[in-house]
Amino acid sequence: MDDSNDNNNKLVLDTSIIIDGKVSRMLEYGELNKCEIIIPIAVLDELQAQASLSREQGFIGLNEVKRLRELCSSKGITLRFEGERPSMDDIKLARHGRIDALIKDVAKKEGATLITADYVQALVAEAEGINVRYIRKDVKRELSFERYIDEQTMSLHMMEDVSIFAKKGKPGAFELVKVREEPCTHAELMNMIREISDAARLTPGANEISMNGATVIQLGNYRIAITRPPFSDKLEITVVRPTVRLTLDDYRVSKRLMERLKSRAEGILIAGPPGSGKSTLASSLAEFYMKQGKIVKTFESPRDLQVSDAITQYAPLEGSFKKAAEILLLVRPDYTIFDEVRKSEDFEVFADMRLAGVGMVGVVHASSPLDAIQRFIGRVELGMIPHILDTIIFVNAGAIVKVYELNLTVRVPTGMVEQDLARPLIEVRDFETNRLEYEIYTFGEENVIVPVEAESSGDGIKRLAEERILEVVRRFDKSAEVKITGSSSALVRVDRSAIPLLIGKSGSTIKELERMLGISIDVEPRIRSMGEQVKFDISEQGNSLYITFEDIVNKSVDVYVDDQYLFSAMVGKKARIKVSKDSDVGKRLLQALLANSRISILVDRRGNG
């Protein structure tokens, strides 16, 4: 391959040499002069396509083309674009060399020297008889940003037109330090991005996630996030690195918890705020299970857990953890570390794999251990949660601060007394003390997490019940009042005219409300009016009691037993009221009849309905 000086020659640049940035440096140092530079249109289209897919190489290449134009203009060197524009088929076959073929065609047609940093491209061009100059990539062993990193650096933050800052210390005990006063320039950051991209292409195991305006690259121990407009307002690079690598012994895990992790815990959730040390603990658990003779795999995007070579780290397969899970189940791991569980699909995959019998350790962002459980509620059926999660480990400042265990049982929730209110509920207990701290169950139509201490004092159930009952009854009367009369009963006071609507036909509305809330509800007028006592007859037909009047139609009446208010109802067109024997008021009215109690009915003739 020709390594001679290219003065007085036509030079065709391919994609690799433009991304490498070598030609612009040669122009700056005067290594190229009196030459003509040709950039194939296929190269420009390929760079545009990569940039449209948010790949850093595309942005780097387009910026390099812009720089080449400026340098050629200042040095009086001709730069032009030649060749055919690639078709859709050419773009689809780019990985198979179709774009490279179009570039070589330009070099042939122009009788020019092809400059490339791609060894395969150089070999093929030489085989075709094209004059080639192959320039090896300059790969720096040390990246530019590493000069600002020391053993105490947790993360490095570089932003356009801003000084360089670093977080130094350890999780829970760090400070933000200015490591360079001079602000970063756009050109400086672009050079860093070029270095990072080149190193990622040449480093085995490096992986990249590209989105519109953002790129995340895992390069060895460094997790590098690059953001640019329109996602961020300016170019920014953030480098995150692990500061410590711990074992479970470093966490001073209790003997009780250690035994659980060895024998029973198979649905573990590690929760904590960002930077609290969740992933470090997950890495420690991965090593722990591997040393227990278990097959351990990880799910990561990007792959940044610090684990031994014996643990295979999986990224999303074709962008999906669901597809990766299908393959993983064929591998038959004993434990899978899922770092981090974010999207709804992630929660579904975690649940499916756990129910398939794989031990799961998930990592989630949460400000409290209960928030971690709340992330699963709504995504997974409530009754299934204890089968998926059995241990919640909350981490903060690099230490385990709380451990919960979850159990499913069927009983009456704390603070309720009637046996017919029994329901499936999840007990959340402090693992070390076995003290019941929370209960999770369905209340009405909602899933609720109720503190047991507050519940036992009555405050929790009262607050929930009052709010839920008022939400419903105020549809009938905006001034409705609710009073909790017991652990499983309540009194509702509404306007006299709203009582029939609230109770419903044969008590259907109030029954549905009682069933939904799991609580017994009595209804009475908000303002009592004795009105006029009227005559009536009570008869029994099938499963109903009928109260018949002589001349009352479309009037609201109040029914009393031994001067104690029982209920209110609207007299229909047939001058009667139908009361179901199965309803609460029906049962009490029937008992009053059997006991020969005094029953009186009052009507307010001033109002209708």
Domain ranges of the chain: 10-134, 144-240, 248-411, 463-525, 532-603
CA distance 162 to 177: 13
Q: Which residues of the chain have pLDDT under 50?
A: 3-8, 454-457, 608-609
Q: Are 262 and 380 in contact (CB under 8 A)?
A: no
Alpha helix segments (H runs only) across 402-498: 452-456, 459-473
Which of 329, 381, 319, 373 minimizes the C-alpha distance to 353?
329
Between the CA of residue 474 and those of 223, 468, 495, 594, what are the distances in Å? 54, 10, 11, 36
What torsion do the CA atoms of 503, 506, 510, 513 make, to the nearest 10 degrees? Answer: -140
What is the model's pLDDT at position 1?
A: 52
Q: Are 440 and 449 in contact (CB under 8 A)?
A: yes
Which of 16, 68, 1, 83 minimizes the C-alpha distance to 37?
68
Between the CA of residue 329 and those of 4, 262, 322, 349, 361, what are the distances in Å? 56, 22, 11, 11, 15
What is the model's pLDDT at position 243?
A: 66
H or E element: which one contains 507?
A: none
- Cross-strand bridge partners of residue 241: none
Q: Are 276 and 398 in contact (CB under 8 A)?
A: yes
Dig out the tokens for 421 from the structure: 């209110």
As its CATH architecture, domain 532-603 has Sandwich (2.60)
Topology of domain 463-525, per CATH? GMP Synthetase; Chain A, domain 3 (3.30.300)
DSSP, collapsed to helix, strand or coil, labels residue 597 as: coil
Q: Are 404 and 391 in contact (CB under 8 A)?
A: yes
What is the model's pLDDT at position 159?
A: 94
Which is it for the CA torsion 389, 392, 395, 396, positive or negative? Answer: positive
CA distance 300 to 363: 10
Which of 366, 374, 290 minimizes the C-alpha distance to 334?
290
- Cross-strand bridge partners of residue 61: none
What is the model's pLDDT at position 182?
A: 93
Dig out the tokens for 422 from the structure: 């029994």
Asked whether this chain's domains 10-134 and 248-411 adopt the same fold, the reply is yes
Homologous superfamily, domain 10-134: 5'-nuclease (3.40.50.1010)
DSSP, collapsed to helix, strand or coil, labels residue 305 as: coil
Dig out the tokens for 175 from the structure: 């400070």
Dig out the tokens for 270 from the structure: 């590690």
CA distance 153 to 157: 11
What is the model's pLDDT at position 7?
A: 40
Phi, psi angle pair for 533, to nearest 5°: -75, 135
Give the count of beta carbons closer than 10 Å to the beta carbon of residue 141.
Answer: 6
CATH number of 248-411: 3.40.50.300
Q: Are 311 and 296 in contact (CB under 8 A)?
A: yes
Q: Are 298 and 314 in contact (CB under 8 A)?
A: yes
Q: Are 599 and 592 in contact (CB under 8 A)?
A: yes
Between the CA of residue 476 and those of 471, 515, 565, what are the distances in Å? 10, 18, 20
What is the model's pLDDT at position 337?
A: 92
- Cross-strand bridge partners of residue 267: 360
Which of 175, 183, 241, 159 minimizes the C-alpha distance to 167?
175
CA distance 272 to 392: 10
> pTM of the prediction?
0.56
Phi, psi angle pair for 459, to nearest 5°: -65, -40
**From the CA atom positions of the chain, what is the Rg in Å?**
37
Q: Does domain 144-240 have CATH number 3.40.250.10?
A: no
535-536-542 Cα angle (round to 5):
175
Dig out the tokens for 152 from the structure: 């105490």
Residues 6+ apart with CB under 8 A from 45: 85, 86, 91
Strand positions, DSSP E, 205-351: 207-211, 214-219, 222-227, 236-240, 267-272, 296-300, 312-314, 335-339
DSSP, collapsed to helix, strand or coil, labels residue 169 as: strand
Which is it for the CA torsion 159, 186, 49, 99, positive or negative? Answer: negative
